[in-house]
Amino acid sequence: MNIEAIFAQKFGTEPQACVFVPGRVNLIGEHIDYNGGRVLPHALHRGVTLALSLRSDDVVRVASDRFEGVSEARTADEPTDSWAKYAHYTMRLAKDIGWISSGADIGIISNLSDGAGLSSSAALCVAVLKALREVTGRSESDVEIAQFARRVENDYIGMPCGIMDQMAVAVAKPGEALFLDTGSLDYDSIPLPEDVSFMVIHSGVHRELADGRYKQRADECLEAKSYFGTDDLCHLTLDQVEGAVDLAENVKRRVRHCITEHERTVQAASHLRARDFVRFGESMNASHVSMRDDFEMSVPAIDRLVESAVEAGALGARLTGGGFGGCIVAAVPVDASEVWLGKVLAQHPDAFLVE
């Protein structure tokens, strides 16, 4: 059933706008988008398809192909359905910034797994905003859409994320990587290779980033920012970190990850442009070690999956997303990908291919 049919079934009318927003997988550059670093995500073919019509009252009704019933709340009320909260809060932001004065009916189709680290929440927020832009005739750019979507997560959800996810799903197109400076929001696109596939495998471990562990890492970075007097931890030096004798060791490790991950991402973008996939894979492997040991955001199931991926022939593999579960991404030669996938999944019965 397509989005128009679902919308008509749930709301008895045709939508005023339909949009598609992709999910994303981050090839390298984790937890540095709120620390002044560069990141390298790419847009997926999977994503969120959303239909929307404005209403004459201030009620927001949300329906999804993955949940029964319709979630309903006024724009000023707290939503009671957790699966629909991102849509409700994006509508509240749109009203707060003066885009709209009423509610809306919203229909959603998504083939992104929740808790997988593929930016399903960012894609939903961006999709609502893009649909509203179309319906209201506004002229805000995709970059501005991404900035508003980040505000939804930061200010309304309470998720202290950076701008990477929103920029990746708002700006990037499937088939290209987005090399993004998260400080200036300058970016360029790098075509993905045809002879190497970036395989996304879900570990089977689901997580909710709002459970506190992501925030704990963000708070540790805030402590470091206060200590060093900068918001750009990625641009410190390792000597500065080692010289901070009265800074807690766990916070030092977080900063060390930010510095080295930023450097790896810059190098990896150069390797991708040069089509040097062996060195790109080495950067991915080093990134996972840093996330595991310095940022401490991995879990045993992810570590075993990454190890199996490399042993089975991946050029490189790493955790992708906010951490504590979700997916890995692996760079695999296309002509070996089918055999590689069979080997990996045979060792990890809870894991499954995402894209």
Which residue in 165, 186, 276, 335 is the catalytic one?
A: 165
Alpha-carbon distance 224 to 321, whole Å?
Answer: 22
Sign for the pseudo-dihedral over CA of 158, 160, 165, 171: positive
Alpha-carbon distance 204 to 325, whole Å?
Answer: 8
Burial bucket for residue 278 (CB in 10 Å: 0-12, 13-18, 19+): exposed
Alpha-carbon distance 78 to 264, whole Å?
Answer: 41
Alpha-carbon distance 11 to 69, whole Å?
Answer: 11
Helix (H) or strand (E) holding 272: helix 249-274
Phi/psi at 62 (5° precision): -125, 130
Is 276 designated active site? Answer: no
- Three-class DSSP category at 124: helix
Q: What distance, in Å, lies between the first and last C-alpha atoms of the chain?
A: 22
Q: Which residues are catalytic?
A: 165
